[in-house]
Structure 1
């Protein structure tokens, strides 16, 4: 399976607490719910498209608890997101969560080495193993070079503080946007799909004047 990271981010890269003021107040964060005023039928269609690609889900402990406390209550048979989340295999990374507490069926708790566990999961048959939210887990997956695809909905807001998708100190990487994978939705939300082409290295260059013209010169 491909491993995809699917997240909502602000213009300044914050992914913390997009859906409600009390969604994630860790670190004293008090600006939650910043996504909601910009939600629309257009953003819903994009997110539903994400979930159509899923064959399994991988969560960090906090996001598993948040999503698992919400989506089982969505019982409308025509909701494509709930249908996927409530029926497909779910894997949660945690050293403290018991099997009894992991009651959002079907769930498997991953307690061993996360890199080895995820590599094993990626070797299973299926289309995509999807990560939603799960900030700390995303950092570990990015550092290990395990992410095959990033899907972002970037909202036209500056949150100013909070957990960022790529915080200071992140492993450098170069990513590419396949043709047609970036579009601006009505209202200014940007839908973007990126594939890592190099993790651990960063392409660089400089501008120089050649024959009287400003020219980009790669190093």
Structure 2
């Protein structure tokens, strides 16, 4: 399976608490719910397009427990996200969880087990949110595709996807677009950083030396 990461970001890279004030207040974060003013049909279409491709779901424990508190109660068969999350195999990365209560859930406790999941047949193993897990997967080079929705907000605080200790990475842009609400969407695959030349200006003309 291909491992794909899906998340919402602010312009300054924060991914904490996008859905509401109580979603994740850890570390004193009090700016939750920053996605809400920009959600709409275009946002919904992008998110639905993610879940149509999902064959299995991989979550960090905090995101898993947050999803568990909401999605099993959504029983409308027309709700694509709920139908997929409730029916598909789910994997939760945790070293302490022993008895997950959401149906079709298996606990995995390390990068090696996730690497083994990728070797199984299927289409996409999707990670949603799960900041700490996403960083570990990025560090291990296990993410095949990044699907990022960026919102026109800066918060100055909160958990970030890309932090200084993570390895530098270049990306190839597979898709990009903007929505009328101001959000932007990018689909990226990781690639090696290619050393470049020097940016210079000669006789008023800029060029790469």
Cα RMSD after superposing both structures: 1.3
Cα separation, 1, equivalents of 2:179 and 2:7: 16
Calculate the TM-score normalised by the size of structure 1: 0.91
Cα separation, 2, equivalents of 1:154 and 1:205: 30
- Could you tell me how far 1:159 is from its partner in structure 2? 1.6
- Could you tell me how far 1:155 is from its partner in structure 2? 0.6
Change (3 A) 1:110 1:27: same
Unaligned runs of 5+ residues in structure 2 are none
Per-residue CA distance 1:93-129 (angstroms, 9 max, x = gap): 1111112xx1111000113xx2211111001111100
Contact 1:176–1:196, Cα closer than 8 Å, also in 2: yes
Q: 2:104 aligns with which of 80, 103, 106?
A: 106
Change (3 A) 1:30 1:202: farther
Cα separation, 2, equivalents of 1:121 and 1:202: 30
- Could you tell me how far 1:211 is from its partner in structure 2? 7.2
Cα separation, 1, equivalents of 2:206 and 2:81: 49
Per-residue CA distance 1:33-85 (angstroms, 9 max, x = gap): 11111110110010000111100011111000001111111111101101100
Cα separation, 1, equivalents of 2:146 and 2:196: 22
Unaligned runs of 5+ residues in structure 1 are none
Count of aligned pairs between the two proteins: 209
Cα separation, 2, equivalents of 1:204 and 1:33: 40
Per-residue CA distance 1:134-158 (angstroms, 9 max, x = gap): 1000110000000000001111111
- Could you tell me how far 1:205 is from its partner in structure 2? 3.6
Match of 1:151 in 2: 147
- Could you tell me how far 1:212 is from its partner in structure 2? 6.1
Q: 1:174 aligns with which of 170, 180, 183?
A: 170
SS in 2 for 1:86: helix
Cα separation, 2, equivalents of 1:207 and 1:97: 51
- Could you tell me how far 1:213 is from its partner in structure 2? 2.9
Calculate the TM-score normalised by the size of structure 2: 0.96
Match of 2:77 in 1: 77
Per-residue CA distance 1:154-202 (angstroms, 9 max, x = gap): 1111122101110222211010102xx100011111011000012xx56
Q: 1:183 aligns with which of 177, 182, 186?
A: 177
Match of 1:22 in 2: 22
